[in-house]
């Protein structure tokens, strides 16, 4: 079966070679410490930069989405419940994905091919209904039996920082209220990636960015984000190799705290019988509970 490429296809080989290593570095009883795989982020983001397909085509943002989805899979969330998936179809109900795995190979490929041709069933992008309008979310965890558990929006900015920052702030704040009002228990996040030329070209815009990331968070009214995160990336005109530069990013807005808060919200909003693997990694212990998620129930 020949599968037509989509906007995430350039990242497939890199993701396939990446290990789902344990992201937590703390010991039992210690404060949770999350360690993102920054090397993978650099490899993924180098792909669109080297191909000269950056922000204009959305390829850089797709690289960010692919990385964050991989981080969630590293944390123990299932490969079919995290969207975008590492392979096509990118968005498909987990129950259907399990069915495809259980069918005979020839029949599975036939059904998968039909899914590819039905964007309403297996779209490339995930859209959810908010309180006021439909919103395309860039990374999501959702199932029929649980509903949306994580809704994550990402943005990239590589130039004209001060000129565009106010628009990003307004859009992000509106999206937070739209989603949180409808899904108050979901982990709703905003992750921002900027080119580190902002530090030298527009330092005032960087200070405003950091302030924006803090202001966008929920402080008790239920309209802000569960968590926000910021990363700076670097490359040169002579060398398209991307590096993650966090030297000037304050600890309270770095990716580590972002991933921690998003995961903690999901665990807080579900019972101990859900996401047992995620809880076991987070709590650094074997939890003697059977996952309320048996695939045998779907057969």
DSSP of 174-235? HHHHHHHHH-TTSEEEEEEEEETTHHHH-HHHHHHHHHHHHHTB-SSSS-SBSEEEEEEEE-
pLDDT at 22 over 60: yes
Q: In the prediction, which pLDDT does 169 show?
A: 92
- pLDDT bucket at 3, cuts 50 / 70 / 90: low
Summarize pLDDT for 49-106 with one digit per residue, the tens: 999 866 556 899 999 999 999 999 999 999 888 999 998 888 777 777 777 778 888 8
Quote the pTM value: 0.91
Distance CA 34, CA 23 (A): 6
- pLDDT bucket at 296, cuts 50 / 70 / 90: very low
> For the ranges 108-122, 148-162, 190-204, 212-226, which has the lowest average pLDDT?
108-122
Distance CA 104, CA 7 (A): 29
Q: What is the mean pLDDT of residues 269-277?
A: 96
Q: What is the mean pLDDT of residues 245-250?
A: 98
């Amino acid at each position: 079966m020949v599968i037509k490429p989509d906007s995430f296809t350039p990242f497939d080989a890199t993701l396939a070679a990446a290990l789902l290593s344990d992201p937590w570095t703390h010991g039992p009883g210690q404060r949770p410490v999350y360690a993102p795989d920054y090397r993978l982020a650099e490899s993924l983001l180098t792909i669109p930069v080297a191909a000269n397909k950056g922000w204009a085509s959305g390829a850089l943002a797709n690289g960010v989405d692919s990385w964050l989805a991989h981080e969630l899979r590293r944390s123990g969330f299932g490969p079919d419940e995290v969207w975008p998936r590492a392979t096509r179809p990118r968005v498909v109900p987990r129950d259907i994905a399990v069915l495809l795995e259980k069918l005979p190979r020839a029949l599975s490929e036939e059904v998968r091919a039909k899914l590819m041709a039905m964007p309403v069933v297996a779209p490339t992008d995930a859209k959810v209904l908010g309180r006021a309008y439909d919103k395309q979310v860039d990374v999501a965890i959702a199932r029929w039996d649980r509903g949306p558990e994580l809704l994550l929006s990402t943005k990239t900015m590589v130039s004209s920082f001060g000129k565009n920052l106010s628009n990003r702030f307004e859009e992000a704040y509106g999206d937070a209220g739209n989603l949180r009002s409808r899904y108050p228990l979901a982990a709703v996040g905003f992750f921002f990636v900027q080119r580190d030329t902002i530090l030298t070209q527009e330092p005032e815009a960087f200070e405003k960015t950091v302030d924006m990331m803090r202001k966008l968070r929920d402080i008790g009214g239920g309209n802000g984000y569960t968590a926000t995160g910021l990363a700076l990336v670097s490359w040169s005109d002579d060398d398209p190799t991307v590096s993650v530069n966090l030297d000037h990013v304050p600890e309270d807005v770095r990716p580590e705290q972002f991933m921690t808060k998003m995961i903690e919200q999901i665990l807080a909003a579900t019972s101990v019988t859900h996401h047992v693997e995620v809880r076991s990694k987070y709590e650094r212990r074997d939890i003697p509970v059977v996952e309320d998620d048996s695939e045998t129930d779907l057969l």
